[in-house]
Chains A and B, each alone.
Chain A
């Protein structure tokens, strides 16, 4: 019995990367401004909310395993980001509260979502896919109640700074997000806690045998995911200069694509923190690239959907090998 990778497996592994490389070559050839510094900054700026929620999703997948159906997944992170943004915007604009107070309330809401998700998955034993989908729908509903489905503009100076400000000559939002991403990378890949989290997702039995309290890690992963939703809300507000109803859908699509794409790019073919960050940046680059060369927005959605299928299917087929 050998453990060497079969040729089919290697083709499946290389497929998503190949498709992406081809797409980027196509974009570079067809848009003369695609490979330029301003475009790069634009790509990074637009990637910010996706990067943040993908950090959360990566954590949940790492703790729950990367099987798309039975493994870890949290579809409610974008909804969490949107409800937190709505709460903060509502407090700032409609109730004239301080940003801090708005963030405190939003933190509480994110905490409740994290606990509910963890509870449904760990104690009620629902599949994460269904549990977090249900939470997501409920959270979107509550968001509509808070905002009455209306846009709420925000002009708070801190939010404006995150939108327009610079730190060391780089967009403030990008710098702050990089700091959060680095913190996550250290936590998940460079600490005992992170190794135990990875072991929990890698093999629940193996982790338990090794004395790791696996349920605790799954619970903590959902709490962290909700936490990333909370962090993302500030950046969502900055990006839209307020809270707009309905913006969670696009974020959800990009988050799932980014996180699983990251796995296709990692040497071990597993979801990682830095893979999720890279994936989010690539997804943003694709969006910017397609718009730059005038591809119809519906085609862009279609291509993104197809890419999710490609990435997830090749991972699933690779596992079946």
Chain B
């Protein structure tokens, strides 16, 4: 099976999984008001997950109260207070850091069920997320292969301690690297900014490159997402150091485009389906109100992307258009 057919088969399967709840017929959100809180809408991933959730709630007959944190975790957390105050029937909360936990608890105590996206919480009914375990191990293997199993690697890792999904992704990446004693992770690890990631990562990469001259650095990995990779590739091109390879996660259209360029240093990625994730979260809300018992986590499939050809294929299959 070539890559495209693999991808198509997997896509068909994941859609059918997601379609099951709706197919039950009685699962709808008629007369329900659902708060949808998202940390920000500037980035593709956040926006798509948010749109997926909002569109599906409407499709199922519910009313949406959308709130947007403007890529500020504090504002995002505070927005939950407003949803609580507005007396919504359920809340779908997309991303967010530890600041939202007490807000979830307050919502739960008020009898408002919380459904999270990419954020595991003891106070949530269900968390819809990608298969982060698979993402972490796969990107570890791809990166190790790309640098021939040995060398020095820098990692942007601001959120391993703050977000559980990042803990999983980066933790498993490191777990895989344990079996490659020739690979060394440069200390201290780098920390990218949340709000202005590409520009911030560009500056930090330029600093890094001046510290590690040609031949002493083999790859830069972004532990939990892909926005910093945009700035990293820029910096590598500016400094003429495209021998340093780049790997990241999320696989949004912007980073797939970069991977698809000829001679791109950006060699491996794992693409998610954010719209489907948001949509699945909304269907889970409907299932919950229909009396179904949900598992603590719903996993949505991901697509490993290894190299230029697979990037072009994934771009097309995920419906972002054509790069040929």
Contacts and interface: CB of A to CB of B under 8 A. Distances in A.
A touches B in complex, CB < 8 A: yes
Interface of A: 33, 36, 38-39, 42, 45-46, 144, 148-151, 153, 163-164, 239-242, 244-247, 249-250, 288, 291-292, 294, 296-298, 300-301
A163 B72 CA distance: 19
Nearest to A149: B191
A241 B99 contact: yes
A141 to B, nearest CB: 12
B83 to A, nearest CB: 9
A150 B191 contact: yes
B78 A239 contact: yes
Contacts of A149: 158, 191-193
Contacts of A297: 67-70, 75
Q: Which one of A163, A241, A247 has the highest number of Cβ atoms from chain B below 10 Å of its Cβ?
A: A241
Q: Which one of A249, A297, A300 has the highest number of Cβ atoms from chain B below 10 Å of its Cβ?
A: A297
SS class, residues of chain A in contact with chain B: helix
A244 B82 contact: no
B66 A294 contact: yes
Contacts of A291: 67, 79, 82
14 contacts: A33-B85, A150-B161, A150-B162, A150-B191, A151-B97, A151-B161, A240-B73, A241-B101, A242-B98, A246-B194, A249-B72, A288-B82, A294-B66, A297-B68
A279 B266 CA distance: 50
A51 B102 CA distance: 22
Contact of A151 (B75, B98, B192): B98
B87 A33 contact: yes
Interface residues of B, number: 33
Given A150-B161, A292-B82, 10 more contacts: A148-B188, A151-B159, A151-B161, A240-B74, A241-B77, A242-B99, A244-B73, A244-B99, A292-B86, A294-B67
A163 B161 contact: no
Nearest to A160: B102
B97 A250 contact: no
Contacts of B162: 150-151, 153
A254 to B, nearest CB: 11
A45 to B, nearest CB: 7
A244 B81 CA distance: 18
Contact of B75 (A38, A245, A250): A250
A148 B67 CA distance: 29
